[in-house]
Amino acid sequence: MLIRPIEEADWPRFLPVFREVVAAGETYAYPEALTSDEARHLWLESAPGVTVVAVGDSGTLLGSAKAGPNRPSRGSHVATASFMVAPEARGQGVGRALGEWVLDWAREQGYVAMQFNAVVETNISAVALWRDLGFAVIGTVPEAFDSATHGRVGLHVMHRYL
């Protein structure tokens, strides 16, 4: 698997993944009826952030991650990131590889910590992965996400020092 910065030609290949993940209603609170340009605006990070894709040996787009400062100005020393893995690529280590890549990138950029602001508590595989990569749940906002399957569930705030 190769992880590299997203290129113009990747967007049409990633957009179906974005739409499928959002439509599932289990991990992101993005509207389902976004145009390609609206989705692109939400997903592609501008400097100093980065958006990358994970590409399989056959050239298949497996997923994407974006990272950058969690907050501007006085909060810009803490990074944040978001991840989407193609449903057919789940369970193959893509999320872990993207997570490790983003942590390395943040460290190299001089961030002191990384914070995830909204990890859906019922997204058990993501919560387990982030814990395994050193993140801790530092708080949970009750009933802050309306899961398509579980109804209203909490959103974890997760943090780790780099």
pLDDT at residue 21, as a whole number: 97
pLDDT at residue 148, as a whole number: 98
Q: Read off the pLDDT of residues 81-135 as tens digits, 9 standing for 90 and up.
A: 999 999 999 999 999 999 999 999 999 999 999 999 999 999 999 999 999 999 9
* Residue 6: pLDDT band with limits 50, 70, 90: very high
CA–CA distance, 13 with 65 (Å, rounded to integer)? 14
The answer to whether 130 and 99 are in contact (CB under 8 A) is yes
pLDDT at residue 51, as a whole number: 98
Q: Read off the pLDDT of residues 27-73 as tens digits, 9 standing for 90 and up.
A: 999 999 999 999 999 999 999 999 999 999 999 999 999 999 999 99
Whole-number Cα distances in Å, 38 to 6, 59, 85, 120:
17, 26, 19, 23
pLDDT at residue 93, as a whole number: 97
Please give the distance of CA 112 from its chain centroid, rounded to a whole number.
19
pLDDT at residue 122, as a whole number: 98
pLDDT at residue 19, as a whole number: 98
The three-class DSSP label of residue 68 is strand
pLDDT at residue 159, as a whole number: 98
pLDDT at residue 16, as a whole number: 97
Domains and CATH numbers, the chain: 2-114 (3.40.630.30)
pLDDT at residue 138, as a whole number: 98
Q: Which amino acid is at 107?
A: R
Cα atoms found within 13 Å of the Cα of residue 22, Cβ hemisphere only = 17
